[in-house]
Amino acid sequence: MTAYIIRRLLQAIPVLFVVSVLVFALIQVAPNNPLAIYQNNPDISPEDLERLAEQYGLNDPLPVKYLKWLSQTLRGDWGESLTTHRPVFDEIAERLPNTLNLSIIAFVISLIVSIPIGVVSAVRQYSWFDHITTTLAFMGHSVPVFWFGLLLIIVFSVNMQNPLAGTLLFPHAAPLPLFPGGGMTTLGADAPPPLVDRLWHLVLPVTMLSVVQLPQHVRYMRAGMLDVLKMDYIRTARGKGLSERVVTYKHALKNAAIPLVTIIALEVPHLFNGAVFTETIFSWPGMGRLFFDHAQRGDYPVLMGILMLSATLIVVFNLVADIAYAFLDPRIRYD
């Protein structure tokens, strides 16, 4: 197993190298000028711009630029943003907690809700409960995420009022939306107590994100359970006279959860990427927004930092998923 892990990690190095070359070229060939923000500034002359471009190495040929970036990164220095002039590491470290805050809560809620639904749906296959959940899962799978977010705002933020407005919890006088349609905290006076305020702002974005993940989790859990319930050892367990409860929740559930566990491992990297749509709609200052904003400015050190971080996480968690699979299912062996 150790040899397998080492081999996989070694294989990852060329993959990440090629990814970095490709992404670097992709960013560079697109005609975004990081200095564009200065172009309309009358205080900055064309000579200054040229000097800045020279200073940042923007005039270097592409391979030189890439090698500079690579040697810097390999030494552990992620470089400096060309537009905010802050270290890339700080930019990411500032946004990552916001993104994780949102995505982990949504992910956990999605799992807590989907596992029991998937199990019951499989145990009572073709019952009305199963029909309703599979139909809902199908619909959830087909809904455009950002539109669902817009609908949430229309219903809960535009059309519903907070009944507690003006009380201790929500000092702001009515009319106050039931849930806010954007931001992470209340700005200005009359803010609710910090914890309440925080949770209050999380409700809609978390709902949007977890509803996106729910259908897939339910499907996996249901399919896994259906597969296992057909197995001989389940029949054996029933034949031994064990109660249906023990058979379902002790024998079947543990094995049925294996596919879900690997899916969870594969989804972890995406918790870090941030949800561009959710962050855009709810003006949430996370990783997705960071990428989106800097993509339009051609700020390649920041973009490379985000992309390589996420590519590395994807490679690592692919391996974690495979290891988890072998660990949970002794029938699977890697050599």
Give the footprint of another protein on this chain (CB under 8 A): 15-16, 18-19, 22-23, 26-27, 29-32, 138-139, 141-147, 150-151, 153-154, 158, 270, 273, 276-277, 280-281, 291-292, 295-296, 303, 306-307, 310-311, 314-315
Least CB distance from residue 11 to another protein, whole Å?
Answer: 9
Least CB distance from residue 286 to another protein, whole Å?
Answer: 13
Tell me whether residue 256 or residue 308 sits nearer to another protein (CB atom): 308
Least CB distance from residue 148 to another protein, whole Å?
Answer: 8
Tell me whether residue 251 or residue 291 sits nearer to another protein (CB atom): 291
Do residues 187 and 285 lie in contact, with contact meaning Cβ atoms separated by under 8 Å? no
Least CB distance from residue 302 to another protein, whole Å?
Answer: 12
Tell me whether residue 261 or residue 276 sits nearer to another protein (CB atom): 276
Which two three-digit tokens encode residue 212? 């996106």
Least CB distance from residue 181 to another protein, whole Å?
Answer: 8
Least CB distance from residue 42 to another protein, whole Å?
Answer: 27
How far is Cα of residue 42 from the mean position of the Cα atoms in its chain? 41
- Give the DSSP letter string of 73-131: HHTT---B-TTT-SBHHHHHHHHHHHHHHHHHHHHHHHHHHHHHHHHHHHHTTTSHHHH
Least CB distance from residue 26 to another protein, whole Å?
Answer: 5
Amino acid in the structure at residue 238 = R
Strand partners, 177: 161
Tell me whether residue 200 or residue 272 sits nearer to another protein (CB atom): 272
- Give the DSSP letter string of 134-193: HHHHHHHHHS-HHHHHHHHIIIIIIS-B-TTBTSSSB-SPSP-BSS-SS-SS--SSSPPP
Residue count of the chain = 335
Do residues 160 and 177 lie in contact, with contact meaning Cβ atoms separated by under 8 Å? yes
Tell me whether residue 150 or residue 323 sits nearer to another protein (CB atom): 150
Tell me whether residue 249 or residue 334 sits nearer to another protein (CB atom): 334
Do residues 224 and 206 lie in contact, with contact meaning Cβ atoms separated by under 8 Å? no
Tell me whether residue 13 or residue 112 sits nearer to another protein (CB atom): 13
Tell me whether residue 184 or residue 314 sits nearer to another protein (CB atom): 314
Cβ within 8 Å of residue 117, ≥6 positions away: 133, 218, 221
Least CB distance from residue 262 to another protein, whole Å?
Answer: 15
Do residues 46 and 88 lie in contact, with contact meaning Cβ atoms separated by under 8 Å? no
Do residues 248 and 237 lie in contact, with contact meaning Cβ atoms separated by under 8 Å? no
Least CB distance from residue 298 to another protein, whole Å?
Answer: 8
- Give the DSSP letter string of 1-54: -HHHHHHHHHHHHHHHHHHHHHHHHHHHHS---TTHHHHT-TTS-HHHHHHHHH
Tell me whether residue 149 or residue 192 sits nearer to another protein (CB atom): 149
Which two three-digit tokens encode residue 98? 């916001």
Identify which of 311, 313, 299, 314 has the alpha carbon closest to the alpha carbon of residue 69. Answer: 299
CB count in 10 Å sphere of residue 160: 12
CB count in 10 Å sphere of residue 324: 17
